[in-house]
Structure 1
Amino acid sequence: MAEDLPVLVVGATGFLGGQVVDELLKRGKKVRALVRPGSKAAKLEAKGVGIARGDMLDTSSLIAAMTGVSAVVSTAAGYTRNDKNAKLIDSYGNSNLAVAAKYAAVPRFVLISILTCDQTPQIPHFWNKKLAEDKFEELGVPFVALRPGAFFDQAVGMGGDPFSKGRFVWLGSKDARLTFVLASDLAGYLAAAVDADVADGERIDIGWTRPVTMQEAAGIAARRAGKPVKVMSVPTGAITGLGKATAKVLPLVGDMASMVAWFETGKYVADTARQEQVFGQVPTPEDAIGRVAERYGH
């Protein structure tokens, strides 16, 4: 029976993928993880997760990993790894996932995409997600794509407890209004999407009840922490200049500069109506930021 088959998680050793594994296990799902040859898998195995060795650039290994599963959840992203294969993973690798899913007759593929990816050909890692969605649709693979906003908890948590330090570090304007998410919430939505009542090919925006600026987020955080929280922002121009200067050495910096410029247009905003219908109550900024504060003991 399908419910006895495992859910394959692609990207299970990553920041988000590891949380998806935990969410699936909480739901009583059997889990199989795609792990690259040479990568450590002991922590996953200790949780009872099955291991399939493979790589997104090796289609045959993907087919083997996807054979006999009830669903696949992919959180893999080359952009966040910033290694020599980043562009290949985000383009060729995602295409391989679609081809393998078609060949293995995967009943449902849950793909993490990016908010407004269909509007942003100037941002390579955004546009590659749009192309990935199109590839799944073209091949007729039953899929649902979740399109989250920017990861708030990951952004402000770099470098330690931002509440104790009294500062959030941000790229670009602190007054640009945009959609944020918590990675922990997104992990739950990705796991829930395995069985959600959605149509094949749906693209669902994921975010909070309203967009906020980083300055507004800092104000919410300050009220929670009981102390001032400032925003240290890196100007867009500085990021763009760095991207041009390091284009051959660090090509993803230019990608990041384009992303920050897009944030400042005010168009990086989710319509969360469908999110609420499928996954329930949408978090408010106050609730989400409050939960981040709790993680740091505030």
Structure 2
Amino acid sequence: MKLLVVGATGTLGRQVARQALDEDHEVRCLVRNPNKAIFLKEWGAELVKGDLCDESTLPAALSGVDAVIDAATARITDNLSAGQVDWQGKVNLIKATKAAGVDRYIFFSILNCEKYPEVPLMDIKRCTEIFLAESGLNYTTLQLAGFMQGLIGQYAIPILEDQIVWVSGESTPIAYMNTQDIAKFAIRALSVSETEKKTFPVVGTKPWGAYEIINLCENLTDKRTRISRVSLTVLGLMRRITRFCEWGQNTADRLTFAEVLASGKPLDAPMDDVYQTFGLDVKETTTLEEYMQEYFTRIMKKLKEIDYEKNKGKKKKGKIPYRNQF
């Protein structure tokens, strides 16, 4: 199958491209800056320069493909807003896909987005789900909760570096999932007819609160964590301030989303029927314990190697070298 992967340089998109290539699909990636996507070309993907917000670049990218997997989203550092990328960009892509005669479309949304119309990113996802369903395309929407990869910068690195870990509100339990496992669902959907024109939750094996994640990291590193709480009032104030600045628009939207994550309402869903429909085994899904264990094992090994290289050859005054003690 020839696939167009959009957002392939992102945390999720790169895993989708990798999984598709591993399953012998032909992969084309729409990228704004080919120089930042060289790794995709090295993996075996074809790169096509284009932009969701420039609809004139989309027909060439869609030519000859069998399906689109849409993993694109605005980043907090982007000059473009979520409204431009996640709404207008997606509308452009869905229309162009329809015009190109490409029938299959895989879309990533957010779990429970319909419950938070006041949150810009959630409302945009909900509206996109509706627009896609009404487009006539043969779609599958996968509603996600959170990526395990994001927990490294949020918890693991600050704990390793003895920095403060910020915890907001009531710490919503979230069923985080490894993006590699999410990618398996996306690629499997292409070959399972029961997933056509339907929406599914795709979440991890267990919801985790902030303090549970901190305790897990502490147990794996033998370190204690400095924790600082941020109230919903402060988050709301920060959001209102950043909205006054054009550069802060994406930041303000993300802070609104942060208020959802601090609401205490779990982001989780039953998955038994989903696994059965997709023909995947829950036992092969990465748990958060396994993910963090692997990360800390690898990072600790690397730190020891770095420390060894720094100290190799150095003589310690007043001590006899170990090899000469016997």
Q: Matched residue of 1:150: which SS?
A: coil
1:41–1:223 Cα change, 3 Å: closer
Is 2:43 the partner of 1:47? yes
Residues 105-144 of structure 1 aligned to structure 2 (within 5 Å): 105-144=101-140
Q: Distance in 1 between matches of 2:256 and 2:270?
A: 22
The answer to whether the 8 Å contact 2:169/2:231 transfers is yes
User: 1:294: Cα distance to partner?
Assistant: 4.0
Q: Report how many residues are paired.
A: 294
CA RMSD of aligned residues (A): 2.6
Residue 32 of structure 1, CA deviation: 0.4
Distance 1:225 1:122 in 2: 39
Answer with 112-121 or 167-176: which moved more.
167-176
Measured after TM superposition, the shift of residue 102 of structure 1 is: 1.1
Is the CA contact (8 Å cut-off) linking 1:114 and 1:129 kept in structure 2?
yes
Residues 1:103 and 2:99 are matched in the alignment: yes
Contact 2:76 2:250 (C-alpha < 8 Å) held by counterparts: no
Classify 1:83/1:11 alpha carbon distance in 2 versus 1 (closer, same or farther; 3 Å): same
Counterpart for residue 12 of structure 1: 8
**1:166 shift after superposition:** 5.4
Q: TM-score, normalised by structure 1?
A: 0.86
Question: Structure 1 residues 135-144 or 198-207, which shifts more?
Answer: 198-207
Please say which structure displays the higher CA radius of gyration: 2
* Cα contact 1:156–1:168 (8 A) shared by 2: no
Alignment of 1:77-96 (within 5 A): 77-96=73-92
Q: Is the 8 A contact 1:56 1:96 kept in 2?
A: yes
Matching residue within 253, 256, 281 for 1:255: 253
> Of residues 282, 290, 294 in structure 1, which corresponds to 2:293?
290
TM-score (norm 2): 0.80
Aligned to 2:306: none
Alpha-carbon contact 2:172-2:266 (below 8 Å) kept: no
Q: Where in structure 2 are the equivalents of 1:139-154 lying within 5 Å?
A: 139-154=135-150
Matches within 5 A, 1:188-227: 188-227=184-223
Q: What's 1:273 paired with?
A: 272
1:159 Cα offset (Å): 9.0
Q: After the TM superposition, which of the residue ranges 234-243 and 172-181 deviates more from structure 2?
A: 172-181
Paired residues of 2:119 and 2:257 also in contact (CA < 8 A): yes
CA–CA distance in 1 between the matches of 2:127 and 2:268?
A: 20
Contact (CA 8 Å) 1:204, 1:274: kept in 2 or not?
no
Q: 1:284 to 1:35 in 2, by over 3 A?
A: closer
Deviation at 1:130, TM superposition (A): 1.3
Helix, strand or coil at the partner of 1:180:
coil
Q: Which residue of 1 aligns with 2:240?
A: 244
Mark the CA change 1:260 to 1:171 in structure 2 (over 3 Å): closer, same or farther: farther
Q: Greater CA deviation, 257-266 or 137-146?
A: 257-266
- Long gaps (5+) in structure 1: none
C-alpha separation in 1, matches of 2:225 and 2:3: 41
State the Cα deviation string for residues 5-43 of structure 1 (Å, max 9, x = none).
x21110112232222211211111111010126754433
Q: Is the 2:82–2:121 contact (alpha carbons within 8 Å) kept by the matching residues of 1?
A: no
Q: What do the CA deviations read for 1:238-265 (whole angstroms, capped 9, x no partner)?
A: 2211111121211233322322222214
Cα 1:108/1:57, change in 2 over 3 Å: same
Determine the C-alpha separation between the residues in 2 that align with 1:194 and 1:296. Answer: 36
1:55-94 Cα distance to aligned partner (Å, 9 max, x none): 1122232232122112111110015444234321111111
Cα deviation for residue 170 of structure 1 reads 4.2
CA contact (8 A) 1:79 1:125 kept: no
Indicate if the aligned counterparts of 2:16 and 2:187 stay in contact, CA closer than 8 A: yes
Farther-moved stretch of structure 1 (122-131 vs 58-67): 58-67
2:18 alignment partner in structure 1: 22
- Are residue 32 (structure 1) and residue 3 (structure 2) matched? no
